[in-house]
Amino acid sequence: MGSTHCFLVTLYWTMGGRRHWCVTALKLWLLVAVLEHVQAALSKDPIFLSDIQNQTVSEGRNVRFACRVDNLGSHKVAWIHFENSAILTVSNHVITRNERITVSRDKHQKTYYLHINDVRETDTGKYMCQINTASAMTIAGFLTVVVPPDIVDQESSGDVIAQEGNDIKLRCRAKGSPKPTVTWKREDGQPITVNKSTSVLEYQGEVLRLSKVSRMDMGAYLCIASNGYPPTVSKRILVSVDFPPMLWIPHQLIGSARGKTVVLECFTEAHPTSLNYWTRGDGNMIYDSDKYHIENRVGNPEYKIHMLLTVRYLDQEDFGTYRCVAKNPRGETDGTIKIYEGEESNTVEHERTINLPAVGEGAGSCRLPWAVHLPFLVASVALLLGDHI
């Protein structure tokens, strides 16, 4: 304060020692000092008081970013969405036409707030708080919008029907943020046979390829989409494998006495489900009656059918040949069972196999176990050939 003191002393002497002039000079000095302080404050560059926090929110929620600034002076604060190169707000004014975006200011906290309501996946990205200094000052925070997984039905497979031996491609298109992982499983818990050398309980990927499918691949497949944010979603795709009917007959020769009741059995496999029925050797169809009872038992899997024909109270006319027949759009096949009058026996001592031809597209032959007592083998052959001799 040395120079000011000299100034005051000079004033005091030059004015004849009047005291009130010194007081006036002191006030003038205080005013100059305040102005110098204000000017020094105004000359400081703006500074950011804290970082902007990154945020992760679910789609549909509201979010708020805070930008704390000191020494702003005459400069302006703007909010910018970096990915869209879009200026959202300047000072207290909203520039964007996005009605979900607003801005507010807390003067005491020296803070500018950017509000985004009902956030969407497209809002994901970097948000910058920028001050329009000569060399723009910027800090930024990142917004991550998470979206639970969803399966796009229009871009995913529906139920599939294929012929046995063909290849199948199943597609399951999933969306979400982060990108979902798609896992395939069979609904029945059985392994997925990708090809002859590869079977897995689970398979990952949007596309599942099955090579040379068989009837064992038939069933419901589940594609499950997850990305760590609930709920996990799934889609059920039914795979059907078509093939012509096949027959298996456990006993082709049945001996019984008159007055007894016997049960004839045929096992069929077919898809689509076959039309199954019984006839006598002359081709006449057999229907439910007091004499006959017909039953078809669905197996597991459902393409297996156990055909049973009960013949009650055998008499002379009931001995002879019976046919079990299976037909579907892929073909047909049949097998014969002969009831002869004699000793009752169906004990399996030695198993034999025979081939029954299948008729129709893709027809092949099926192997049928034929079990008889060796002592009855010659008699059985004679009975089977009797109609042709």
Q: What is the pLDDT of residues 34-52, one digit of tens each?
A: 565 555 455 588 999 999 9
Residues 6+ apart with CB under 8 A from 127: 52, 65, 79, 80, 81, 82, 88, 114, 140, 141, 142, 143
Q: Are 60 and 148 contacting, i.e. CB atoms less than 8 angstroms apart? A: no
Residues 325 and 332: their CA atoms lie apart, in Å, by 7
What average pLDDT does range 130-144 have in this prediction? 96
Confidence of residue 26 (pLDDT cuts 50, 70, 90): low
Q: Other CB atoms closer than 10 Å to residue 328's CB: what's the count?
A: 21
Say which residue, 314 or 388, is predicted with more confidence: 314
Strand partners, 322: 280, 337
- Quote the percentage of the chain above a pLDDT of 70: 77
**Alpha-helical runs (H) found in the chain:** 2-14, 19-42, 377-385
Residues 23 and 30: their CA atoms lie apart, in Å, by 11
Question: Is residue 212's pLDDT more than 90?
Answer: yes
Question: Is residue 321's pLDDT more than 50?
Answer: yes
How do 160-163 and 292-298 pair as beta strands?
Answer: unpaired
Looking at residue 343, its pLDDT comes to 77
Confidence of residue 186 (pLDDT cuts 50, 70, 90): very high
How many residues are recorded in the chain? 389
Residues 51 and 129: their CA atoms lie apart, in Å, by 10
Residues 6+ apart with CB under 8 A from 8: 22, 25, 26
Looking at residue 239, its pLDDT comes to 97
DSSP 345: B
DSSP 45: P
Please give the structure tokens belonging to residue 317: 């006319």
What average pLDDT does range 368-389 have in this prediction? 40
Residues 222 and 225: their CA atoms lie apart, in Å, by 10
Cα–Cα nearest to 337, from 375, 286, 281:
281
Has this prediction a pTM greater than 0.85? no
Looking at residue 44, its pLDDT comes to 80
